[in-house]
């Protein structure tokens, strides 16, 4: 009797282990399994939609040992690819997943080119299989990242980018959306952060597929993906205060301990989320080849689209950022925004933000004037609430901060009158607008509104629309020639009794800016060279009366010398910045003016929504703040409530005092008030009383 002890044909994991250890000895068993695989494939092609466990096991087995027999299996990868290309959409989900895993295994063993695998995987994105699409997306991102880890594979990247660009034009929505998600994720991982990727995504912003367009718009806006539903559900189900109180007073259990740890993690996560600054893809917006064309096409699509209002807001946001960053001209954009500038409009503060964001110094003033008048007529009127008026004034300030010529003198005079308004929020918003023009364009204000002229205002050079005041030196660099040995900054004060290490301006008549007095000892302490000391001595010359122009010219010469003849360090720039800030505070006439608050005159590329919604008012305290305020007010005062006025606390109390501590049922009969009698009862009582009196007589 022949005993069949060879179980290897039916035990593939054991055979796989033996083949990896000794491929030559077990070649015959492998060829037997490979022939079995070929027969299974031949039968499988007659009904590819049916599940086939044998095909799954055989394909994974051969993929595991493929590196041991490269010559025999040179056609095996292409055979799997052919199966997917031919029957990919009708295959059973388990069979399709196992074949994809086998191809990934061959790719990891470098037995298959990446472009061949990605080509078939992108075609599989058409399948109605969410698990497969998610699996393939993760693999594609990981594989491309690993391929470009040590060195950029330009050939592979170019081929894949071209293929993805064709996928964006695919009629299948899910495949196009998945391609966009892959490109965005690779950009975030700094793998495909080049101009080609950005411009492909820019072209996808004009896609007819809403999901693709929204994904690209969110990419350029830098918005994070929405939180997962399980995280939000857990935050709603668990109340942190209840869990912590239960864990403190109730019985300690493992469940309560886990809940407490979970609540602490959620609290830390929420705190980090609030403190995290928003991320914007400035680099992506700056890499767009044709920003003017993109803005025009996107705006044209916006005008004719019937998308949801949220999608339109995204399109408006992207257009405004393109206009502001690249200083584009899209004159029809501003009248379009005017249609939505009503206090009752949904998300009106964001629309005002877009208007300010799309403003720059080259926008024609006659285009922005109607915009400002619309804001003034719809928001800055006394028929609206104080918050609405403050928001309108803040929006006007943000627009004027980017284009000072947008405002005309008549409208400016009307708006700054609100600085004496009864509501603090409106008063502060109007004061910030006044301060903006006081520091940057004081000639538009009346003389009484300009305030005391400062040194920074004296250095301003009036410009017209489109004119740029370019300097060949660093403004404020003259302070570097006036520093002492310790490197302390020399303050510009108007006090004649200042310290020895200060640069003093002593003011003369109205036509004279000031007299500069200082001892020669201070000049000797300067650690500069002889030329620097000469320049400083020239600035502090014997001529005690200098005109305004002469002082400005001398400071300009000193700034040019400091800029050209030395290398400025970070510390030097800090000193220069401090000196320029002091110029905005330091008056040119006698006497010191109080330091001003931040005026917000420095305009960034993007407008913060908080700058428009910044309303100066006393906010309502939360519960804990109110409790703390009450506790603070109770300190140092007598105890509130019943006061025991007995001279001797050990003596007895009155019955009325004792009644307060008794049970209510014991004193219930004493709490009954007298019942008011009716008129008839009073008549009967009076008759009985009179009869009784008569009988007694």
Angle at 150 between CA 149 and CA 151, to 5 degrees: 100
Contact between residue 612 and residue 391 where contact means Cβ atoms under 8 Å apart: yes
Residue 641, Cβ density class (10 Å: 0-12 exposed, 13-18 middle, ≥19 buried):
exposed
Contact between residue 513 and residue 502 where contact means Cβ atoms under 8 Å apart: no
Closest CA to 57 of 19, 117, 101, 23: 101
Whole-angstrom distance, CA of residue 429 vs CA of residue 379: 13
Tokens at 561, concatenated:
């010398």
Helix, strand, coil share of the chain (percent; to 5): 60, 0, 40
Beta pairing partners, 515: 506
Beta-carbon contacts of residue 288 (< 8 Å; ≥ 6 apart): 198, 199, 202, 294, 322, 326
CA torsion, points 405, 411, 412, 416, in degrees to nearest 10? -160
Contact between residue 223 and residue 280 where contact means Cβ atoms under 8 Å apart: no
Measure CA 78 to chain center.
Answer: 48
Question: What values do phi and psi take at 680, rounded to 5?
Answer: -65, -40
Q: Which residue has the tokens 């942190």?
A: 240
Whole-angstrom distance, CA of residue 297 vs CA of residue 319: 10
- For residue 680, the model assigns a pLDDT of 92
- For residue 321, the model assigns a pLDDT of 93
Buried b (16+ CB within 10 A) or exposed e, 535-552: bbeebbeeeeebeeeebe
Whole-angstrom distance, CA of residue 102 vs CA of residue 79: 12
Whole-angstrom distance, CA of residue 370 vs CA of residue 372: 5
> SS3 of 514, please?
strand
Question: What values do phi and psi take at 503, rounded to 5?
Answer: -95, 120
Tokens at 281, concatenated:
């893809």
Question: What values do phi and psi take at 639, rounded to 5?
Answer: -65, 135
Closest CA to 473 of 565, 581, 536: 565
Contact between residue 524 and residue 620 where contact means Cβ atoms under 8 Å apart: no
Closest CA to 75 of 101, 41, 50: 41
Tokens at 679, concatenated:
């008129």
- For residue 443, the model assigns a pLDDT of 87
Beta-carbon contacts of residue 260 (< 8 Å; ≥ 6 apart): 243, 244, 247
Residues of the chain with pLDDT under 50: 1-4, 224-237, 277-280, 484-537, 539-544, 590-601
Residue 414, Cβ density class (10 Å: 0-12 exposed, 13-18 middle, ≥19 buried):
exposed
Contact between residue 483 and residue 489 where contact means Cβ atoms under 8 Å apart: yes
- For residue 395, the model assigns a pLDDT of 94
- For residue 1, the model assigns a pLDDT of 36
Whole-angstrom distance, CA of residue 159 vs CA of residue 123: 15
Whole-angstrom distance, CA of residue 340 vs CA of residue 375: 10
Closest CA to 495 of 587, 374, 421, 375: 587
Contact between residue 554 and residue 543 where contact means Cβ atoms under 8 Å apart: no
Whole-angstrom distance, CA of residue 86 vs CA of residue 97: 15
Residue 689, Cβ density class (10 Å: 0-12 exposed, 13-18 middle, ≥19 buried):
exposed
Contact between residue 508 and residue 514 where contact means Cβ atoms under 8 Å apart: yes
- For residue 632, the model assigns a pLDDT of 86
- For residue 312, the model assigns a pLDDT of 94
Q: Ramachandran region of residue 658, left (φ > 0), alpha (ψ -120 to 50) or beta?
A: alpha
Question: What values do phi and psi take at 493, rounded to 5?
Answer: -120, 165
Whole-angstrom distance, CA of residue 419 vs CA of residue 424: 9
């Amino acid at each position: 009797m022949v005993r069949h002890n060879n179980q290897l044909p039916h035990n593939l994991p054991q055979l796989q282990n033996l083949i990896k250890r000794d491929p030559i000895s077990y070649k015959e068993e492998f060829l037997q399994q490979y022939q079995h695989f070929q027969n299974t494939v031949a039968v499988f092609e007659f009904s590819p939609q049916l599940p086939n466990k044998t095909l799954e096991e055989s394909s994974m087995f051969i993929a595991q040992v493929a590196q041991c027999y490269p010559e025999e299996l040179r056609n095996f990868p292409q055979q799997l690819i052919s199966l997917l290309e031919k029957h990919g959409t009708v295959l059973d989900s388990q069979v399709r997943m196992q074949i994809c895993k086998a191809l990934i295994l061959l790719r990891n063993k470098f037995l298959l080119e990446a472009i061949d695998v990605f080509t078939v995987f992108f075609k599989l994105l058409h399948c109605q299989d969410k698990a497969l699409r998610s699996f393939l997306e993760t693999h594609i991102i990981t594989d491309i990242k690993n391929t470009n880890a040590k060195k950029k594979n330009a050939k592979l990247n170019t081929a894949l980018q071209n293929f993805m660009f064709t996928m964006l034009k695919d009629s299948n929505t899910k495949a196009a959306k998945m391609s966009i998600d892959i490109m965005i994720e690779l950009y975030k991982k700094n793998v495909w952060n080049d101009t080609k990727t950005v411009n492909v995504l820019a072209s996808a912003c004009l896609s007819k597929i809403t999901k693709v367009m929204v994904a690209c718009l969110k990419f350029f806006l830098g918005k994070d993906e929405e939180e997962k539903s399980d995280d939000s559900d857990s935050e709603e189900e668990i109340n942190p205060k209840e869990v912590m109180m239960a864990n403190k007073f109730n019985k300690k259990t493992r469940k309560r301990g886990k809940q407490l740890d979970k609540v602490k993690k959620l609290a830390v996560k929420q705190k980090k989320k609030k403190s995290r600054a928003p991320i914007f893809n400035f680099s992506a917006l700056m890499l767009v080849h044709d920003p003017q064309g993109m803005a025009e096409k996107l705006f044209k699509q916006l005008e004719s689209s019937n998308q949801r209002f949220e999608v339109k807001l995204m399109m408006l946001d992207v257009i405004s950022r393109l206009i502001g960053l690249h200083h584009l001209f899209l004159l029809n954009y501003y009248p379009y925004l005017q249609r939505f500038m009503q206090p009752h409009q949904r998300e009106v503060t964001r629309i005002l933000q877009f208007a300010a964001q799309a403003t720059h110094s080259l926008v024609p003033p006659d285009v922005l004037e109607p915009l400002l008048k619309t804001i003034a007529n719809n928001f800055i009127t006394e028929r609206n609430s104080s918050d609405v008026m403050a928001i309108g004034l803040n929006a006007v300030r943000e627009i004027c901060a980017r284009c000072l010529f947008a405002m005309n003198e008549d409208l400016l005079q009307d708006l700054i009158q609100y600085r004496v308004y009864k509501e603090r929020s409106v008063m502060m918003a109007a004061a910030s607008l006044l301060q903006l023009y006081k520091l940057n364009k004081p000639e538009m204000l009346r003389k009484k509104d300009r305030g005391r002229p400062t040194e920074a205002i004296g250095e301003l050079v009036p410009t017209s629309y489109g004119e740029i005041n370019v300097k060949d030196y660093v403004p404020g660099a003259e302070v570097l020639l006036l520093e002492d040995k310790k490197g302390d900054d020399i303050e510009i004060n108007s006090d004649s009794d200042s310290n020895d290490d200060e640069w003093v301006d002593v003011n003369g008549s109205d036509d004279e800016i000031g007299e500069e007095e200082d001892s020669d000892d201070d000049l000797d302490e300067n650690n500069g060279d002889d030329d620097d000391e000469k320049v400083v001595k020239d600035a502090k010359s014997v001529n005690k009366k200098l005109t305004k122009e002469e002082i400005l010219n001398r400071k300009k010469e000193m700034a040019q010398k400091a800029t050209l003849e030395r290398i400025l360090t970070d510390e030097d720039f800090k000193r220069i910045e401090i000196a320029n800030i002091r110029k905005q505070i330091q008056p040119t006439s006698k006497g010191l003016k109080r330091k001003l608050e931040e005026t917000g005159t420095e305009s960034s590329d993007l407008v913060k929504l908080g700058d428009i919604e910044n309303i100066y008012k006393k906010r309502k305290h939360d519960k804990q703040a109110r409790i703390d305020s009450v506790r603070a007010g109770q300190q140092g005062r007598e105890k509130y409530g019943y006061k025991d006025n007995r001279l001797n606390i050990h003596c007895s109390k009155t019955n009325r005092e004792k009644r307060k501590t008794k049970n209510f049922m014991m004193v219930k009969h004493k709490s009954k008030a007298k019942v008011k009698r009716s008129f008839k009862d009073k008549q009967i009582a009076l008759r009985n009383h009179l009869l009784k009196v008569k009988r007694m007589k």
